[in-house]
Amino acid sequence: MGFFRALLGLGEAGGWTASPKAIQEWFPATERGLGVGVYAMGGSIGAMLAPLIVIPIAAASSWHWAFVVTGSVGLVWLIPWMILYRDATYVEPKIAEKDSAESEWALWSSVLKQEAVWRFMLARLLTDSVWYFYLFWMPKYLHDDRGLSQEDIKIMWVVFLMADVGFVLGGFVSGKLIKRGMSPPAARLWLMLASAVLVPLSPLVALSSSTAVAIAVASIVAMAHCSWLSNQTALIVDIIPRRVMATTFGVVAAGSALGGMLMNEVVSGTVEAYSYTPCFFLMAIMHPIAIALLWRYRRSAVQDE
């Protein structure tokens, strides 16, 4: 089971690295944030729908069929994608350079020597840890510390709904700022700064005596993070050359996976030794650190460094 779970992660990674390049080639800067937000929203919608699909299937037959059905959905999605997808109709002039015939080694070298790539990777490592924490540990926290039953934990749909709002709203607002004359990198980073101000509300989840307040704060944090994620992705798309876009995003996305692994180790050890409370405090500092890493790119593109 662990082996096939690893294959799932390997296959899933392709979509998250190819999607930003498709956005870069298909959309102008004013629409990229919203485009990223719409496709990224699918992840949180899936998290909302999963219990409604998986639990009844497992109850009616077995947990094996839950894997079969959800895996088959991905194959069904592939059919319209193969039929409808076409070569890009829009490529922004400044990134429309011809792909060079450089070797794979030269391609990787040009990516890995960029300081910006490592900054983006570290930012994803830090901030995606927050999302993974709320995605995987929040239900357990509600059960262990708040005493919610499995049925009551379905209230998490509110958190995922607000995450969807963050994906779309973050991209929409940054697009509006660009249309009003702000540069794309600046627009993305100002929205990311707003997220970095909201995410530190995280400790209130543990400190509040009210479960309703805890859910409300968690919803705000999820919305802020997803606004951050849609704008950080769009920022990378804005300033990374087209020929290395997918490779760069693969490196950056590796930071996300690494952050998730490290977060699980830290949280499990902290909960076992102390409680969930220190974890919520830890989540509060990730986005402020990340915005400090990336703020310099509000005025310059990576290729200008």
Residues 110-134: tens digit of each pLDDT: 888 888 899 999 999 999 999 999 9
- Give this prediction's pTM: 0.80
> Spelled out in words, what is the top-level CATH class assigned to the domain 8-91+104-298?
mainly alpha
* CA 80/CA 25 separation, integer angstroms: 20
Mean pLDDT for 269-279 is 95
What is the structure's pLDDT at 91? 53
Higher pLDDT, 267 or 237: 267
Whether residue 208 is predicted with pLDDT greater than 80 in this model: the reply is yes
What is the structure's pLDDT at 102? 55
What is the structure's pLDDT at 300? 58
What is the structure's pLDDT at 214? 96
Higher pLDDT, 248 or 294: 294
247 in Cβ contact with 108 (< 8 Å) = yes
Higher pLDDT, 221 or 42: 221
SS3 215: helix
Query: CA 251, 257, 258, 260 torsion: positive or negative?
Result: positive
The overall average pLDDT reported for the chain is: 86
Give the side-chain half-sphere CA count within 13 A for 251: 22
Alpha helix segments (H runs only) across the chain: 2-26, 29-60, 63-84, 104-112, 115-132, 138-144, 157-179, 184-198, 203-207, 211-239, 245-273, 277-294
290 in Cβ contact with 235 (< 8 Å) = no
* CA 141/CA 156 separation, integer angstroms: 11
* CA 134/CA 205 separation, integer angstroms: 11
Higher pLDDT, 202 or 92: 202
Torsion of CA 12, 14, 17, 22, to 10 degrees: -110
212 in Cβ contact with 150 (< 8 Å) = no
Whether residue 94 is predicted with pLDDT greater than 50 in this model: the reply is no
Residues 193-204: tens digit of each pLDDT: 999 999 999 999
Q: What's the token pair of residue 85? A: 């997808």
Listed in sequence order, the residues at least 6 apart from 218 whose beta carbon sits closer than 8 Å to its beta carbon are: 134, 138, 159, 205
Mean pLDDT for 203-224 is 96
Whether residue 165 is predicted with pLDDT greater than 60 in this model: the reply is yes
Q: Please, which pLDDT band fits residue 98 given cuts at 50, 70 and 90? A: very low
* CA 226/CA 167 separation, integer angstroms: 5
Listed in sequence order, the residues at least 6 apart from 216 whose beta carbon sits closer than 8 Å to its beta carbon are: none
Whether residue 89 is predicted with pLDDT greater than 90 in this model: the reply is no
Task: Please state which of the ranges 48-52, 76-80, 153-157, 220-224 shows the lowest mean pLDDT.
Answer: 48-52
What is the structure's pLDDT at 50? 78
Whether residue 218 is predicted with pLDDT greater than 90 in this model: the reply is yes
Q: For 23, which DSSP code?
A: H
pLDDT-above-70 percentage for the chain: 92
Listed in sequence order, the residues at least 6 apart from 225 whose beta carbon sits closer than 8 Å to its beta carbon are: 127, 130, 131, 134, 163, 166, 195, 199, 287
Whether residue 260 is predicted with pLDDT greater than 80 in this model: the reply is yes
Mean pLDDT for 52-78 is 84
Whether residue 83 is predicted with pLDDT greater than 70 in this model: the reply is yes
* CA 298/CA 184 separation, integer angstroms: 8
Give the number of other CB atoms < 10 A from CB of residue 107. Answer: 15
Give the side-chain half-sphere CA count within 13 A for 19: 20
The whole-angstrom distance between residue 2's C-alpha and the CA centroid of its chain comes to: 23
